[in-house]
Structures are given as structure tokens and as C-alpha cells.
Structure 1
Amino acid sequence: MSDSENRIREDIARLSKSLFDRGFSVGSAGNLSAAVEDGILMTPTNSCLGFLDPARISKISRDGRHLSGDKPSKEIFLHSAFYETRPEVGAVVHLHSTYATALSCLSDVDPEDCIPPLTPYVVMRVGRVKLVDYVRPGDEKGGDLIRALGGKHAAVLLANHGPVVTGKDICSAVYAAEELEETAKLLVALRGLPTRILTAENVAELKAVFGSY
């Protein structure tokens, strides 16, 4: 096992514990993955993000074969679909965080833009978020729905389920997932109140200056 893979295993365990300790994940909910040179590392099925053993993190091949470690999360299909359709993706974070999941249960969110540009940071770190139709957890159809997006979205909300967020590495994916959850919290707090969101010109300026993932 390479030093680089060992570092990524440690990062997954450290960041997973941070998410768990701060309430972004409860029980055995949520799963994280990160690309390595010869495959993908993924949190094991039914594991708690607060108590991961780096050595037991699952390793799978790019075509989905289990190579080592504990059995991978049943949501492997969601993760694999993002790696397949967005070559720049280095990590994927799927959480059941409270406020983003709450938005995924509302019937009146815009399915094409369910996290509107409320702050500059959600534009810079997350981008436009699409609502993806509900399928049961672990259903391979979830991967098909992600593939159908053609790599156009770095993050989605799974209807009645929660967010899936990508990044160029595990740290940036976790930070983006946190930003999405904090923005969802603001959206719920502001619900029913007159709200000012960023204009199209504001968003275009952010993308021009900072780029977009």
C-alpha cells in the first residue's frame, strides 16, 4: 500500500469523525469515497463515520470489484457514477445531514436548482444542485440517474434521502458538503420570509473570478 493511499485512508477516517462529531451524520448513515491510483477507497457498509478504522476502509476497482477491506457501502453505485461522468472528481460525500435532507423532502423546491445562490460560497464550492428522483437506498438505478446528468452537476439532492457532493479531493468534497448543509439551514430558516438571492450577474462574476467546480 502506497504512502499516498495511507494518507487518504487517514484523511477519510479523520474527516468522517469530524462530520459525525458535529452531527452531519448519525448512526451508520452516510458514506465517503476517494479515488486512488489503482481504485477507489470507500467507507464500509453499516459503518459509523465516527469510528472508522483506516485499515478496514473498503477498496474497490474502477469497475466495481471489491479488492480489499470490509464490504463497501451499498451506495457504491452513486459514487461510481460520479467518477465515471466527471473525470475531475477525486472524492464523493453522501450525507443524511438534517437541513439538506429536509429540503429534499419538500414538494415545492425547484428540481433544477434546489439550492439557490443565497451566498457566494455555495456558488463557489457547490454550484447548481439538481434534485434527483427517489429510488430506494442501494438501488443501482441511483447510479443510472447520476449518469443521466452527463457530468453537469458537482452535487445533487436525492429526493427524500439527502445530498451527494463531489470534490477534487476528500477535503474539498467534505468542505463542499458542509457548505451545502449550512446553506440549506439558511434556506429553511428564511423560508416564508422575503429573501434576496444573488443575481445572475453576481453568479457570473463569481465564476469568472474564482472559477467553478
Structure 2
Amino acid sequence: MSADARRAIERVAHSIHRRGLTHGRTGNLAVRDGDRVLLTPTGVSLADVDADRLSVVALDGSHLDGPKPTKEAFLHVALLRVRPEANAVVHTHSVHAAAVSCLSDVDPENPIPPLTAYYGMRVGKLRMLPYFAPGDPAATGAVEDAARVTHALLLRNHGPVVAGADLDAALDAVEELEHTAQLFLLTRGLATSPLTSAQLHALATPSGRTSS
């Protein structure tokens, strides 16, 4: 497996933990490398991820090499199977996004409104899945269905799982989702002005994109 992919997983895992986007031994990452997938192992804090101690699975989820993969490996491989343009997946238990996933009165088709341009560009559509116990492979079908619509999912009573062209893109989207979830919770009960469909469409065009 690619040494660059291994180093990227170690770097991003440590960054996620350092930024407080997950806690304890929660959260996991995946990178597609040809017809195989590199994953963070089960029971390892993202602060302690080691490039030389990663799991390797096939796109059907079967364990090929390395330590036992995270029990949520099926989330990652399901997203990567459905979205061939994606090469990485980030799953965290970030506080504000997880808080939104616990609310009973949000629309599963649009659980967080597009309050900022960067949310529109980096997250776009967000879908919230029904509740499944962590590690329950029965969620595979729901993940695949939602992934046909969007690269950004919110697992009910759990947290976000987001695919991207690479790990940095997936991490950017997770951070933007967490930031907008915080804004959403801060403004609950107040009148807000989310971006319109036309404004979101403009952001999706090359002339509407910005890098900073």
C-alpha cells in the first residue's frame, strides 16, 4: 500500500484529535488505494494512529491485512463504492454535529441549513440517516442510498461521515459541517437567512468558487 496514503492518514488523524473534532477512541478514517482501502484500526485513538499500523480491507469490506479494522469500516467502503470520484472518508463524533443528530425536529433531508457560503461549497447537501447502533452493518443499505445523493451524511444520535476527493477535502468538509452545526444551534429560535437555491447553484459553478 502507498506510503503517502499511510502518512496522510496518520497526519490527518492526529490533526482531527488535536482540533477536538473527536474524543477518546472515537472517529475513523479511510483512504482508497487502488482496489484496496486503508483504514484506522479498531480501539485506537486518532491521537495514536501510526502509519505503519493500519488496516487494509477490500471494497467489499473483507479484511486483507494489518490489525483489525474499525467496526465502522462498512461506512467507509459503502461510501467509496457508491462514489467513485471519492478517495477518502472521514468519520468523527464532533460535538455540535452530533448534537444536531440528536434533535427530534430537524428535517432528515436537510438537517442543517446552508447558513454560509463555505458550507454550500464544501458540504452542499447533507442527509441524516435513521439510527443504527455503532458498527451495525444493517446501515450499509441506508448509507449507499444516501451516498447516491450526497457525499456528506449525518448518522442519527452519532455523528458525521463525509467523503472527499482526498483526506484534506473530506476534513475540510467535516470542519465546515461542524462549524455550521454550531451556528445552527446558536441561532435556533432566531430568524436566519440561509443561502437560496440560486446562491447555492452559483457557488457550484467555477466562477463562484473561492479558495479562502
TM range (shorter): over 0.9
Kindly provide the CA deviation profile for residues 148-201 of structure 1, in whole angstroms up to 9, marking residues without a partner as x: 236111111101011011101111111111111111111111111111111111
**Which residue of the partner structure matches residue 45 of structure 2?**
48
Deviating runs (4+, > 6 A) in structure 1?
none
Cα contact 1:33–1:42 (8 A) shared by 2: yes
Cα contact 1:114–1:131 (8 A) shared by 2: yes
| Residue 15 of structure 2 corresponds to residue 18 of structure 1 | yes
1:196 and 1:24 map into 2 onto residues whose CA distance is: 27
Cα contact 1:80–1:143 (8 A) shared by 2: no
**Which residue of the partner structure matches residue 92 of structure 1?**
89
Q: CA deviation at 1:103?
A: 0.3
2:34 and 2:170 map into 1 onto residues whose CA distance is: 18
TM norm structure 1:
0.94
Cα contact 1:97–1:181 (8 A) shared by 2: yes
2:9 and 2:145 map into 1 onto residues whose CA distance is: 28
- Return the match for 2:202 from 202, 205, 208: 205
Kindly provide the CA deviation profile for residues 107-138 of structure 1, in whole angstroms up to 9, marking residues without a partner as x: 11111011211001111111110110001011
| Residue 193 of structure 2 corresponds to residue 193 of structure 1 | no
1:169 and 1:110 map into 2 onto residues whose CA distance is: 29
Kindly provide the CA deviation profile for residues 25-78 of structure 1, in whole angstroms up to 9, marking residues without a partner as x: 111001110100240000001110011111111111122221221110000111
2:191 and 2:123 map into 1 onto residues whose CA distance is: 24
Within 5 Å, which residues of 2 pair with 1:18-167?
Answer: 18-149=15-146, 151-167=148-164
For 1:118, give the aligned amino acid.
L
Structure 2 unmatched runs, 5+: none
For 1:102, give the aligned amino acid.
A
Cα contact 2:78–2:143 (8 A) shared by 1: yes
2:168 and 2:147 map into 1 onto residues whose CA distance is: 24
2:89 and 2:81 map into 1 onto residues whose CA distance is: 12
> Matched residue pairs, number?
208
**CA-atom RMSD in angstroms:** 1.2
**Which residue of the partner structure matches residue 177 of structure 2?**
180
Cα contact 2:22–2:92 (8 A) shared by 1: yes
For 1:104, give the aligned amino acid.
S
Q: Which moved more, 1:148-157 or 1:85-94?
A: 148-157
For 1:68, give the aligned amino acid.
D
Cα contact 2:101–2:154 (8 A) shared by 1: yes
1:182 and 1:90 map into 2 onto residues whose CA distance is: 23
2:128 and 2:202 map into 1 onto residues whose CA distance is: 25
